[in-house]
Amino acid sequence: MTATPPAPARDVPSNMADRLIVALDVKTPEAASDLVDRLDGTATFFKIGMWLLFAKGTDALIDRLVDKGNNVFLDYKMYDIGQTVKEGVARARERGAKIVTIHGDDAIMKAAVEGKGGDAKLKLFAITVLTSMNDDDLAGMGYRLTVPELVELRVRKAAECGVDGVIASAADNPAELRRRAGAPGLLIGTPGVRSPGVAVHDQKRVATPEGAIRAGADYIVMGRQITEAADPAAEARKVIAEMERGAAPAA
């Protein structure tokens, strides 16, 4: 009788600080570079999204981050025909990106996996439902599913298509999503995270850093709480400490 191979372990950094992704949601690459300098020695993972995508100098910022040994998350939410997504992912791989986001459509995810080309260093994360959306928002877009139903569907599809992870709220219960999808190795990145008492802004499905990690999130993505703080490094250290409490055994 052939033994069943063990389920793959999630490829998560052992250092909690490396699981905090700071969103460089500022208006210029110069402002982003200043933030990176102020966070030096505290944060190692940085997200570049729509705020900077079209800004002059962002290419140089990406190169600087990669050359300094930082991890780069290109939150570009690729949504296009398969060949275009495939080539977009291939270019991100060549640039040295660590995470790239794509939409959770089957054809898009399969094309992205082709573009990745077996590179274990690049992780593809599929979007489930934005943490700024709730059931009413989905209904307004014509969806018949609730947020939990759509998230679960997209997680299952992501696992079937062979992507590395998904973006989902801690409120979606990351550990349970993996279990229901039969994908124990699936990585989950969680935005919409705020420390207790901090303004949630436009987020609707929110969790604390401690709660997100305890629920099974592998990475948390945080912007304004850190980037708008008087001392971003001190704020990041506070968040990392809260994350570490989430990883500690429950009392």
pTM of the complete model: 0.91
CATH of the domain at 206: 3.20.20.70
Residue 8 lies in a domain: no
- How many domains does one find in the chain? 1
127 - beta bridge partners? 103, 167
How far does CA 175 lie from the centroid of its chain?
Answer: 15
More confident residue, 5 or 18: 18
Categorize the per-residue pLDDT at 3 as very low, low, confident or very high, splitting at 50, 70 and 90: very low
Radius of gyration of the chain (CA): 18
Residue 43 lies in a domain: yes
Span 88-128, pLDDT tens digits: 999 999 999 999 999 999 999 999 999 999 999 999 999 98
Residue 1 lies in a domain: no
Catalytic residues: 77
Span 184-201, pLDDT tens digits: 999 999 998 999 888 777
Residue 68 lies in a domain: yes
**CB-neighbour burial class of residue 53 (10 A; exposed 0-12, middle 13-18, buried 19+):** exposed
pLDDT of residue 198: 83
Residue 11 lies in a domain: no
The CA distance from 171 to 193, in Å, is: 10
User: In terms of residue numbers, what domain contains 178?
Assistant: 16-246
H or E stretch covering 226: helix 224-227
Residue 210 lies in a domain: yes
Residue 10 lies in a domain: no
The CA distance from 126 to 161, in Å, is: 10
Span 136-187, pLDDT tens digits: 999 999 989 898 899 899 999 999 999 999 999 988 899 999 999 999 999 9
Residue 9 lies in a domain: no
User: By three-state DSSP, how is residue 34 classified?
Assistant: helix
H or E stretch covering 235: helix 232-247
